[in-house]
Amino acid sequence: MRKEMRKEKTFSPQKSSRQRRTQTLYMIFGFLLAVVILAPVVWMLLTSVMQPVDLTAKPLRLIPKQITLERYSHIFKSASSSDPAYVFRIALKNSFIIAVSVTILSLVIGTLAAYAFAHVRFRGRNALMLLILFTYMVPPAALIIPLYRIYNSLGLLDRRWPLVILYLSFVIPFIIWVMQDFFGSISKTYEEAAQVDGATRLQTLLYIFLPIARPGAVAAGILAFLMSWDEFFYALIFTSSLSSKTMTIAIEEFNGKFTIDYGMISTAGILGSLIPVMITIIFQKYIVMGMTAGGVKE
């Protein structure tokens, strides 16, 4: 016993020093990672409040001499339809409507389908699941020509709700893929107990499975919102007028024929990032719970 105690005494300082070095390395790595990730965001924020003189100064000024909020007020006060700032404000509204619609519809449809794939046995279930995942993996460039011809023949171009349907085609497979894993991790004893009490499958889903899988549903909903909020390729091809143009397309209009307004681009980027950041901060707890709960199997 005395020999073991002596060994512990001799090795404990080494272990503590190793732990301190490991923690120091983790802190340095975390700091460097934070700098790499946050540096473009900080620079975009500084660019949005810099005076034009500071933006074109040589050598480059990392700290502006004067700060202005005129670009932000210009976006919210502009009333001319030919002004890119006004176009961006309307496009920001269009993006919010489209993203919320896609999130709600994809959660409803995807949750029902995910529950069926996880707990209902039917012929061809695995093949159908693979087919759904295949549609999610197909690159948009391979589908753009047939989709454009279909939308053009049906008169669905340059509208918001056809764009919602288009986004649902790749968001719903993602929701099914994510939510199936959450529903599959829930014990079947809950479903069996509900069936003994006379509950239908829909009641079992609404009153038992959804409350348990709520963190996963919230995390999947946020990811669905971000996927539709940041989408650029389909919006570029299928929208052209102010009534349906999205935020990602409106930012591009700050590029003039002979000049590029870096200040307004940065301002639009900051405003376009506020809503996703606020949603992520509000539901941060559910995101962490949702990302970890799906990996726990019965």
Domain range annotation of the chain: 2-55, 71-293
**292 residue type, one letter:** T
Q: Which residues contact 226 (CB under 8 A, 6 or more apart)?
A: 276
State the Cα–Cα distance between residues 155 and 43, nearest whole angstrom: 43
Choose the weakest-confidence range: 153-162, 166-175, 181-190, 274-283.
181-190
User: What mean pLDDT comes out for the span 179-183?
Assistant: 85
The Cβ-side half-sphere exposure at 177, using a 13 Å CA radius, reads 15
Query: What percent of the chain clears pLDDT 90, i.e. is strictly above it?
Result: 26
Output the DSSP codes for 33-96: HHHHHHHHHHHHHHHHHB-HHHHT-SS--SS-SSB--HHHHHHHH---TTSHHHHHHHHHHHHH
Indicate if the pLDDT at residue 82 is higher than 70: yes
User: Per-residue pLDDT for 293 more than 70?
Assistant: no
If one looks up domain 71-293 in CATH, what number appears?
A: 1.10.3720.10
DSSP count for the chain of H helices, then E strands: 15, 0
Measured distance CA(195)–CA(199) in Å, rounded = 5
Tell me the pLDDT tens digit for each residue of 197-223: 888 888 888 888 888 888 888 888 998
Q: Quick count: other Cβ atoms within 10 Å of Cβ 294?
A: 21
Which residues touch 166 (CB under 8 Å, ≥6 apart)? 147, 151, 234, 238
Residue 42 has pLDDT above 50, yes or no: yes
pLDDT band at 148 (very low <50, low <70, confident <90, very high): very high
DSSP-assigned letter for residue 207? I
CA 184, 188, 191 angle in degrees (round to 5)? 110
pLDDT band at 257 (very low <50, low <70, confident <90, very high): low
Mean pLDDT of the chain: 84
Q: How far apart are CA 287 and CA 215, in angstroms?
A: 7
Comparing 105 with 39, the larger pLDDT belongs to 105
pTM of the model: 0.83
Amino acid, res. 33: L
State residue 7's pLDDT score.
47
Please give the pLDDT value at position 295.
45
